[in-house]
Chains A and B, each alone.
Chain A
Amino acid sequence: MSEEQIKNLEKQFEERIARDEKIEPKDWMPDKYRQTHIRQMSQHAHSEIVGMLPEGNWISRAPTLRRKVALLAKVQDEAGHGLYLYSACETLGISRDALYEQLHSGKAKYSSIFNYPTVTWADMGAVGWLVDGAAIINQVPLCSTSFGPYARAMVRVCKEESFHQRQGYEIMLKLTQGTPEQIDMAQDALNRWWWPSLMMLGPTDAESVHTEQSMKWKLKRKSNDDLRQQFIDQTVPQAELIGLTIPDPDLKWNEERGSYDFGEINWDEFWQVVKGHGPMNKERMKARIDAWEGGEWVRDAAMAHAEKKAERKIKQAI
């Protein structure tokens, strides 16, 4: 194809998206669109499955049977969501195994927030409330993103995730209605998870590399800073309602803007964790690699059995 022909196709392609038409896997698409989608969807999928680990850490220690089943179901949903998103990626011709390789070799990223440890039970509350809360803000607009398989996966994810944040907030609520020790536990968890949750919405707009293109492709509907503001504005009253204090001395309602002003985010810490120096980066990767490598003989055996079974069937037929 000549350069001009490609330009022409690209123009038509952008027009389709602007008209809110969906792009399906076999449609012609610019290579950059394909690569960007593989990157973002797989990063999203990786975040779901790495995200199982910090919460999975408390399944065996959940304090009541009711909490245990809720947590199990939640972590299981994350596996499901990872699966939906890997499947969406696979429509673009890259296998799940290849995507795993990218994760395990450090080539692909996942959400840095999962590199923080879950230290107390209250972290199950804080993660559900804040991390899922921030995730929902990111995810709801993706239900109408331009790439069909991604949009469909996100519709399913958002529908299923509606209980996750409530589950987390309920844990916090119960703690704040409890003993002084429980209230401290809840406040401590909020203190530790607040800032990482703000960072989770991505670098400031000035630092963000992909925003403009992503807006055009509806991979993003709002800028990181807008999303962050939205998250803060809706979370602060939720904290107040259960008597917890947001750990930000600069947090102040701004009448004029109709929003909260907030303190400086420690972006150094953010980039350190992204680069692999967070408290749990190594453990998270090791857990994923162990599960995958440790499961290899199982997957091989299942394939070998399937092949033998198919052969036996053919022999019987003859």
Chain B
Amino acid sequence: MSLALLKEHYTNKNIIMSTKNWPLWEVFVRSKNGLEHRHFGSLHAADAEMALENARDVYTRRNEGVSIWVVESKDITASNPEHNGELFEPAQDKVYRHPTFYDLPDDVKYM
């Protein structure tokens, strides 16, 4: 088959191509005990078991983990960056939540 024909074949095939693609999962890995699970990336899998297996094979090939969480990406609710102003900026001027807000004499110890 020529490349052109091959392309045509593929384009035609798309019309009847299956739409049941494996959903996307987010992978969280604990690198070692004592540390939190951290977002490592994502992958595709048909179900949770497969997602765990795939995560092990894809994201811990170099001994990167001792524990894995997977969650289907669609189940994550994310904040909208357009609301960042109302969500996060009000915290910016609440300096009294930080220890440096309070003036204490330098010779106070253990504080």
Touching in the complex, A and B, CB below 8 A? yes
CB proximity of B7 to chain A, nearest CB, Å: 5
Report 6 cross-chain contacts, Cβ distance below 8 Å, ordered by A residue: A80-B61, A87-B42, A96-B21, A104-B7, A289-B6, A299-B22
Is B80 close to A, CB under 8 A?
yes
CB proximity of B95 to chain A, nearest CB, Å: 23
Is B98 close to A, CB under 8 A?
no
Interface residues of A in 268-313 (CB under 8 A from B): 276, 281-282, 285-286, 289, 293, 296, 299-300, 302-306, 309-310
B41 lies within 8 A of A105 (CB): no
B24 lies within 8 A of A26 (CB): no
Is A248 close to B, CB under 8 A?
no
Q: Which residue of A lies closest to B17 (CB)?
A: A296
Q: Which residue of B lies closest to A282 (CB)?
A: B3
A28 touches which of B50, B78, B81 (Cβ 8 Å): B81
Mark B44-55 against chain A: 1 for CB-CB distance below 8 A, else 0.
101100100000
Is A76 close to B, CB under 8 A?
yes
Chain B facing A: main interface SS: mixed
Is A20 close to B, CB under 8 A?
no
B81 touches which of A24, A77, A281 (Cβ 8 Å): A24
Bound together, the chains give a CA A24 to CA B11 distance in angstroms of 33
A28 lies within 8 A of B82 (CB): yes
Given A299-B22, A302-B50, A306-B47, residue A26 in contact with residue B78 (CB < 8 A):
yes
Is B94 close to A, CB under 8 A?
no
Q: Which residue of B lies closest to A153 (CB)?
A: B41
Is A95 close to B, CB under 8 A?
yes
Mark B1-33 against chain A: 1 for CB-CB distance below 8 A, else 0.
111001100110110011011101000000000
B6 touches which of A90, A286, A299, A306 (Cβ 8 Å): A286
Q: With contacts A153-B41, A160-B62, A310-B47 known, what are 9 further pairs, Cβ within 8 A? A: A83-B43, A84-B41, A87-B41, A87-B42, A285-B6, A286-B1, A299-B18, A300-B20, A304-B20
B22 lies within 8 A of A76 (CB): no
Q: Which residues of A contact B11 (CB under 8 A)?
A: 105
Q: Which residues of B contact A210 (CB under 8 A)?
A: none
Is A156 close to B, CB under 8 A?
yes
Q: Which residues of A contact B6 (CB under 8 A)?
A: 282, 285-286, 289
Is B58 close to A, CB under 8 A?
yes
CB proximity of B85 to chain A, nearest CB, Å: 13
CB proximity of A77 to chain B, nearest CB, Å: 8
Bound together, the chains give a CA A299 to CA B45 distance in angstroms of 9
Q: Which residue of B lies closest to A149 (CB)?
A: B41
Is A27 close to B, CB under 8 A?
yes
A276 lies within 8 A of B81 (CB): no
Query: Which 4 pairs, one residue from A and one from B, show the smallest C-beta to C-beta distance?
Result: A302-B46, A306-B47, A306-B46, A87-B42
Bound together, the chains give a CA A105 to CA B61 distance in angstroms of 32
Q: Which residue of A lies closest to B62 (CB)?
A: A160
Q: Which residues of A contact B41 (CB under 8 A)?
A: 84, 87, 152-153, 156
